[in-house]
Copies of this chain bind each other. A is one copy, B any other.
Amino acid sequence: MYKIGIDFGGTNIAAGLIDENNQIIQRTNLPTRKEKGMEGVCEDIATCCATLTEQAGIATKDISVLGVASPGTINSVSGVIEYYSGMNVRNYPLAEKLRKLTGISEVRAENDANAAALAEAVVGAAQGAAHSVTVTLGTGVGGGIIIDGKVYSGFNHSAAELGHIVIVHGGESCSCGRRGCWESYSSATALIRMTCAAMEGNLISELHTIAHQDGKVSGKTAFRAAEAGDSAATKVVRDYIAYLATGITNIINIFQPEVLCIGGGISGEGENLLVPLRKLVDGEQYARTTPHKTRIVTAKLGNDAGIIGAALL
């Protein structure tokens, strides 16, 4: 038997056919036609499913599960999108619609960050850990919590908004309406803001050279300039990692997960990021004296985490 995993986002619907070893063996995707609403999204997901089975030369009856990872508040029990602000969706019966459109009887849905955390826990960087947390450092800071091998999403399916833990009371404005959220200090967006501020304050800096070469300021600019020995960039990277360590230490003091995976664009810095981060967290965490400490690692599945996690639901 095979599974299909769908990672539905604001710009793209990515689909994968998953074999019994939880490997993606076929892929397809379609752009998200927001203007067609959720009915259009469901039709496109059904088209992706048909494409995958056709590519693999199998039938719908060979698919045991269709799983969908979606942004927003997803009721994983009923398969309903309770709320997704990006398309202004409320109480949309995603699983029910897809059952009808695809003929696959077992359809499940989950929040995309939660699905990605599940994928890391089952086949990724947190494999074998009963309790793990995955944090993604991208446009925002996302989170997924795995407890006893299962997604934890609270009593209302809205938990694990780890980016929206305030770490600077009264600090930077966040898109969620609060001030000082971790997301406003540890997302790629925040790093770009800090990099731009350093560029304004340091007109002669490697930061300008690298941004000019790349045609833009990105989450990589400060890391590359710091590697070249630029002092303004070094300070940006140091400050960024200090904020990141504050948030990661918070998560560890709360959850003491066996593994904490860091994904998203910024995690591409790998050990450049993790070595100084682990040092700060080691010095700060509450349970410094225990021999059993959380392992902080780079997430393994990258953009595939949503597809694989969806198939594992």
Contacts and interface: CB of A to CB of B under 8 A. Distances in A.
A113 to B, nearest CB: 13
Interface in A258-310: 258, 283-284, 286-290, 292-294
A197 interface: no
A228 B271 CA distance: 57
* Interface size range of chain A in the complex: 35 or more
Given A164-B253, A250-B166, A158 B286 contact: yes
A286 B161 contact: yes
A264 to B, nearest CB: 18
Contacts of A178: 249, 284
A232 to B, nearest CB: 20
Interface string A234-268: 00000000110010011001111110000000000
A24 interface: no
A159 interface: yes
Interface of A: 73, 82-83, 129-131, 147, 152-162, 164-169, 171, 176-178, 180, 185, 242-243, 246, 249-250, 253-258, 283-284, 286-290, 292-294
15 contacts: A83-B290, A154-B257, A155-B258, A155-B292, A156-B290, A156-B292, A156-B293, A158-B256, A158-B286, A159-B254, A161-B286, A164-B286, A167-B167, A169-B171, A178-B284
